[in-house]
Amino acid sequence: MLSRLRYFLSAAELKSLTRAAAVHGISQSAISQHLDALEKELGFRLFVSPRRSLRLTDAGESFYSTVRQLVSAFDRKLSELKRQSLYPRRCITLGVLSSFMGPELTAALNLLRAEGIDFTLRRATHEELFDDMRLGKVDLILNDQRRSFSPVYVNRVAAVRPRYVTLSPAHPLASHDRLTLESLRSYPCLMLTPPAFLNPENRFYRKVIGIEGELHACDSLSTALLQLEDGKSLFLGDGHSSSHTFLQKPLLAATGPLNVTYCVFYVKEGARPLQEEAADLICKAFQNH
């Protein structure tokens, strides 16, 4: 039953039996058979027939919402139990925004080491980090705030920092002390995002930050920095880096500086004291810089 529920979630979210089957490594006919069996067991249709467009029925919409919560809760608890059995020591998995370049991260990791907390570091994009946290793949995340705080999480504001534009010394805008959204319009802007999260990241850059020029996706920070060497592209890196290879300029909007709020998040239910301790140390590292 659990596998069939996962097949159903993938089909509903991807709106394609082919893509859903590829995600789970089975054939399209096999996933179709599993969905038929699930509908027969439930006694109602999940998708509008025929399934070419994969539109959910009203009952399917309601069932999807319930199943999504249940499967997420199951995965989170399973990951938690696995971590507890594998890592009985003072050990955490910390998710960090893949575009973060500031010295605060190094300072935070040093504080964790000094307090005898072992850690595994996972770099990911904003949406990936929240998915990982919901699924219990990470204990806490250092991320930027893009939405209202949720009561489901512990939300700790680490710092509010200016948003910086990273560029090559050979870039035409390199001589400017500050950059405006208007001045960026003529140059490609690089985003760190995997294909699955391209649309939400694109919306964030357009609607929230206000980027109007071209947007190019990169799969890693190293790839983005390599592309900057052409002297044409720009990158909105997080944090103020001390690197001498690239320049960083504050970004201004018409109303004033554009700021970023960096936060430490973790799931409130079932939280361990070690998560709170780690969050305290990360926030302390930001306060000291």
Q: What is the DSSP string of 30-57?
A: HHHHHHHHHHHHHTS-SBPSSTTS-PBP
Structure-token pair, residue 260: 């970023």
2-73 placed in CATH 1.10.10.10: yes
- Distance separating alpha carbons of residues 107 and 101, to the nearest angstrom: 12
Q: What's the confidence (pLDDT) of residue 88?
A: 55
β-strand pairing of 247-253 with 118-124: unpaired
Q: What's the confidence (pLDDT) of residue 221?
A: 87
Q: Tell me the CATH class for 87-159+261-287.
A: alpha beta
Return the beta strands (E) in the chain as ranges: 91-97, 118-124, 140-144, 153-162, 164-167, 179-180, 189-192, 215-218, 234-235, 247-253, 256-257, 259-267
Side-chain-side CA neighbours of 256 within 13 Å: the count stands at 2
Strand, coil or helix: 117: coil
Strand, coil or helix: 246: coil
Question: Do residues 163 and 260 touch, judged by C-beta distance below 8 A?
Answer: yes
Crossing angle of helices 2-14/28-42, nearest 10°? 110
Domains 2-73 and 87-159+261-287 belong to one CATH topology: no
Which parts of the chain register pLDDT below 50? none
Q: What's the confidence (pLDDT) of residue 1?
A: 86
Side-chain-side CA neighbours of 137 within 13 Å: the count stands at 14
Domain boundaries, the chain: 2-73, 87-159+261-287, 164-257
**Exposure letters 228-240 (e unless 16+ CB within 10 A, then b):** beeeebbbbbbbb
Q: What's the confidence (pLDDT) of residue 242?
A: 64
- CATH code: domain 164-257 is 3.40.190.10
Q: Whole-prediction pTM value?
A: 0.67
Q: Which of 144, 105, 101 is nearest to 241 (CA)?
A: 101
Q: How far is CA 108 from CA 69, 86, 117, in A?
A: 33, 24, 11
